[in-house]
Amino acid sequence: MPNIMGILNVTPDSFSDGGDFFSIGDAIDRALFMVQEGATIIDIGGESSRPGADPVPTDIEIKRIIPVIYTLKKENIPVKLSIDTCKPEVMRRAVDAGVDIINDIMAMRAEGALEIAASSGVTVSLMHMQGRPRTMQQNPHYDDVISDVKHFLEERVHACIEAGISYEKIILDPGFGFGKTLEHNVELFKNLDMFQSLGFPILVGVSRKSMIGTILNNAPVSMRLYGSLALAVLAAQKGAAIIRVHDVKATQEVLRVLQTVS
Ligand code: 7PJ
Decide: 242 and 3 in contact? Cβ < 8 Å.
yes
Cβ neighbours, 10 Å, residue 183: 12
Count of structural domains within the chain: 1
Q: Is the CB of 9 under 6 A from ligand 1?
A: no
Q: For residues 57, 35, 18 and 228, what is the CA-based torsion angle, rounded to 10 degrees?
A: 110
Per-residue pLDDT of the chain (262 residues; tens, 9 = 90+): 999 999 999 887 643 444 455 578 888 999 999 999 999 999 999 988 777 777 889 999 999 999 999 999 999 999 999 999 999 999 999 999 999 999 999 999 999 999 999 999 999 999 999 998 888 989 999 999 999 999 999 999 999 999 999 999 999 999 999 999 999 999 999 999 999 999 999 999 999 999 999 999 999 999 999 999 999 999 999 999 999 999 999 999 999 999 999 9
Please tell me the predicted confidence (pLDDT) of residue 21. Answer: 52
Dist CA 1 CA 49 (whole Å): 28
Give yes or no: 87 in active site.
no
Instruction: Specify the residue with its C-alpha closest to ligand 1, atom 8.
Output: 105
Q: How far is 162 from 160, CA to CA, in rounded Å?
A: 5
> Helix, strand or coil for residue 133?
coil
Phi-psi region of 69 (alpha: psi -120 to 50; beta: other; left: phi over 0): alpha
Catalytic residue among 150, 156, 208, 209: 209
CB–CB of 72/27 below 8 Å?
Answer: no
> Which one of 173, 210, 214, 243 would you pick to mutate in the ligand 1 pocket, going by the greatest count of ligand atoms within 8 A of its CB?
173
* Segments forming the whole domain that contains residue 178: 3-261
Task: Tell which atom from ligand 1 comes closest to the C-alpha of 205.
Answer: 15
Q: Is 105 in the pocket of ligand 1 (CB under 6 A)?
A: yes
Residue (of 186, 229, 192) closest to 208 by Cα position: 229
Q: State whether the beta carbon of 203 lies less than 6 angstroms from ligand 1.
A: yes
Judge whether 50 counts as a catalytic residue. no
Domain CATH code at residue 61: 3.20.20.20
pLDDT confidence of residue 211: 97
Task: Return the pLDDT at 17.
Answer: 46
| pLDDT computed for residue 11 by the predictor | 80
